[in-house]
């Protein structure tokens, strides 16, 4: 009973602190049981939804540098997991399904005579996900990875290498099955070397902002507390 009371008090303190951190927008909706280990190292911009039971872990909490950044109008599905090495950056207008994992920090395992839980973590890798990417259910992004803007990643895909912009990707290991051709206006089979003005990410983001208002927060999909529709 005493441990339960202590946990409840710590939970309330965390929620209170989160509400008054300037680097976490007041226009962010958190589902139940979201946990952030290293709140001062996290930047979450306006109009984001964070699904319930998501865990953000900043492994190097010895400084106050921003190591995890989530852009405006992004949606993180329930039960997602972030293990941050050097940094994870997510662009505006991204949408992730449930149970996605982003891992760029690992336990050091150079010496098996030392318990891996005590051997420390690696901090040198980064993950960057460009503007307006859609990642389906249970996608895993592992390592030092750059996913270009405008990509679509199929459910249960395992990504361990860079993905160019406007790619449609599936599988374990990931493979590019289609590329968007702005001349034809279609997703075309295979990996292709195509260019358009939208291959400049700032130009692409400007077009999204021009034609899109702030997206609605996903209360029902991110939290059981709002019940059925």
- The pTM assigned to this predicted structure is 0.90
Distance CA 95, CA 208 (A): 14
The pLDDT, as a whole number, for residue 88 is 98
Q: What is the mean pLDDT of residues 23-39?
A: 94
Distance CA 197, CA 64 (A): 37
The pLDDT, as a whole number, for residue 71 is 97
Residue with tokens 């996900």: 129
Is residue 102 domain-resident? yes
- Say yes or no to pLDDT of 75 above 60: yes
Structural domain of residue 102, as residue ranges? Answer: 2-108+119-220
Is residue 228 domain-resident? no
The pLDDT, as a whole number, for residue 221 is 94
In contact, 138 and 159? CB cutoff 8 Å? no
Beta strands in 86-223, from DSSP E residues, in sequence order: 87-90, 95-96, 101-103, 126-129, 134-135, 140-142, 145-147, 152-153, 158-159, 167-170, 175-181, 186-189
- Nearest to residue 45, comparing CAs of 28, 68, 58, 20? 28
pLDDT, tens digit (0-9, with 9 covering 90-100), for 138-182: 999 999 999 999 999 999 999 999 999 999 999 999 999 999 999
CATH of the domain at 125: 2.160.10.10
- Say yes or no to pLDDT of 129 above 90: yes
Total structural domains within the chain: 1
Is residue 99 domain-resident? yes
By DSSP bridging, strand 152-153 and strand 134-135 are: parallel
Is residue 10 domain-resident? yes
Distance CA 158, CA 103 (A): 11
Q: Element (H or E) spanning 209, and its range?
A: helix 201-211
Peptide bond between residue 207 and the one before it cis (omega within 30 degrees of 0) = no
pLDDT > 70: percent of the chain: 91
């Amino acid at each position: 009973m005493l441990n339960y009371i202590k946990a409840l008090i710590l939970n309330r303190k965390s929620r209170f602190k989160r509400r008054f951190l300037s680097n976490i927008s007041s226009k962010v909706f958190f589902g139940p049981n979201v946990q952030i280990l290293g709140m001062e190292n996290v930047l979450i911009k306006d109009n984001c939804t964070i699904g319930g039971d998501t865990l953000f872990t900043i492994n190097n909490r010895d400084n106050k540098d921003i190591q995890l950044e989530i852009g405006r109008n992004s949606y993180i599905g329930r039960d997602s997991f972030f293990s941050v090495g050097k940094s994870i950056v997510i662009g505006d207008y991204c949408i992730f399904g449930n149970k996605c994992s982003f891992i760029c920090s690992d336990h050091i395992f150079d010496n098996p005579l030392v318990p891996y839980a005590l051997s420390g973590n690696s901090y040198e890798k980064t993950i960057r996900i460009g503007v307006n990417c859609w990642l389906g259910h249970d996608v895993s992004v592992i390592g030092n990875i750059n996913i270009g803007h405008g990509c679509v990643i199929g459910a249960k895909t395992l990504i361990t290498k860079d993905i160019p912009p406007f790619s449609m990707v599936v599988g374990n290991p990931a493979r590019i099955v289609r590329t968007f051709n702005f001349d034809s206006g279609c997703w075309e089979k295979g990996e292709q070397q195509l260019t358009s003005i939208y291959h400049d990410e700032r130009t692409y983001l400007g077009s999204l902002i021009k034609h899109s208002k702030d997206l609605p927060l996903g209360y029902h999909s991110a939290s059981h507390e709002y019940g059925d529709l």
